[in-house]
A and B are shown apart, each in its own frame.
Chain A
Amino acid sequence: MDNKTFIIAGIVVAILIGVVAVFMASGDPDSLESTALMVQGQKTLTGGTPADAEIHEDTVGKFSYESPMPDYSLGETLGPLGGIIAIVAGTLLAFGIVLGISKMLVAKKKVKEAKANQ
C-alpha cells in the first residue's frame, strides 16, 4: 500500500469511528465522572447512574475555560450534524498538526545532516 492510499484509508477509518461515535457512544458518565458521582453518593460502584445525577464541582481556586466545541458538539440546534462536523474537524486537525510538526522535525534533521556533511 503506498503512502497516499495508506493515509486516505487511515483517515477514512478514523472518521468512520468518529461518526459512528456521534450516534452510538454511551451517554453514561465516563470512568472519572462515574467515580466522582460515586464518591459524592449519587451512585454505587456497580449500580446504574440516575438520569438526574450531576457532579458537584468545586471550582473555587480552580482554572476555568470555555472551549469552542464542548463535548464534541456545536450545540443543540445542529444536533448530530454538529457532532459530525466537530469530530471530522478534530480528526483532521489531529492528523494535520502531527503531520505538520513531524514534517518540520524531519526537515530540520535533514538541514542539520546536510550541514554536518559539508
Chain B
Amino acid sequence: MHIPDAFIPIWQGVIYWIIALIFVALALRWARNEMSEEKIPLIAVLAAGIFALQSFNLPVSMGTSGHLVGGALAAIILGSPFAAVFILTLVLIVQGVLFGDGGITTMGANIINMGVIGGFVGFYTFKGMMAATKNITIAGFAAAWLACVVPAIACAVEMYFAGTFPLSEGLVAMGLYHALIGIIEGFVTVVAIRLIVAARPDIVDFKIEVPAVKGVNA
C-alpha cells in the first residue's frame, strides 16, 4: 500500500508530511526515553525483518498481491506504538529513496498509514485483546489483522481526498484485499512474536500483564 508520488497532489502530501513529522518527533522522544542498549539489536533486527517482509508481495487472488506491514509486530514486541513509527519511518525512507517503493511527497502519508495507524491500532488492539482473552495468539492475530486493514481503509480515504479513487470503490477494494493480506499478516506476526520471545525473553517488553508467556517483562 505504498502510495507513489503520482497518487496525491503535492499540497496534500505536505499536510500528511507535517502530521507525520509530529509523530516522528514523538517517536524520537520515545526512543530517547525508552530505548536501552539491550533493546538496540532487537529494534535493528525488526527493521531488517520488516524491510524484507514488505518486499515480499504475496498473491491474494483476484489479480492482486500484497505484502505485510509489520507495524503491529514492532509495536507489540517493543511495547509502544511509537516503536512502530520509529522503525517504519526509517524503513519507508530506505524503500522510497533507494527503491522507489512509495513516493517522496507521499512518504508522510505512508508513515501515517503504516507506522502511525498500523502501530497504534496494532498496539491497542493487542492490549485490549490480551485483557479480554489472555491469549497471545488470538490477541496478536487480531492486532496484526486490524493493523493491516485499518491503514488500508485510511489509504482509501486519502485516495478519495486526492481525487484518485472514488470513496466507495476504494474502500471496498482496499478493505477486501487487505482483509485477505491481514490473515497472512496475523499468522506471520504471531509466529514472529513467539520466535522472538523464545529467543530473547529478556528484551521483549509488552508493557502489559502477560501471564501466559514466561520470562517476559510485564
Contact = CB atoms under 8 A, between A and B. Distances in A.
Interface of A: 1, 3, 6-7, 9-11, 13-15, 17-18, 20-21, 24-32, 34-36, 38-39, 43, 45-49, 57-59, 61-72, 86-87, 89-99, 101-103, 105-106, 108-109
B177 A95 contact: no
Interface in B28-59: 28, 31-33, 35-37, 39-53, 55-59
B4 to A, nearest CB: 8
Given A36-B164, A63-B105, A109-B32, A21 B56 contact: yes
A86 B46 CA distance: 19
A95 B56 contact: no
Interface string B55-88: 1111111111111000000000000000000110
Interface of B: 1-10, 13, 28, 31-33, 35-37, 39-53, 55-67, 86-87, 90-91, 93-101, 103-105, 152, 155-156, 159, 164-166, 169-170, 172-174, 176-178, 181, 199-200
Given A6-B199, A7-B45, A65-B104, A87 B40 contact: no
Given A35-B156, A43-B63, A45-B173, A25 B55 contact: yes
A6 B174 contact: no
Contacts of B98: 67-69, 89-90, 93
B45 A31 contact: no
Contacts of A102: 31, 35, 39-40, 43-44
Given A26-B65, A30-B65, A63-B103, A21 B55 contact: yes
Contact of B169 (A35, A61, A86, A99): A35
A101 B90 contact: yes
A47 B181 CA distance: 17
6 closest pairs, A vs B, by CB? A10-B45, A49-B63, A67-B100, A26-B65, A21-B56, A98-B47
A87 B101 CA distance: 12
A74 B99 CA distance: 10
Given A35-B174, A68-B98, A101-B90, 5 more contacts: A26-B59, A38-B173, A62-B10, A64-B5, A87-B55
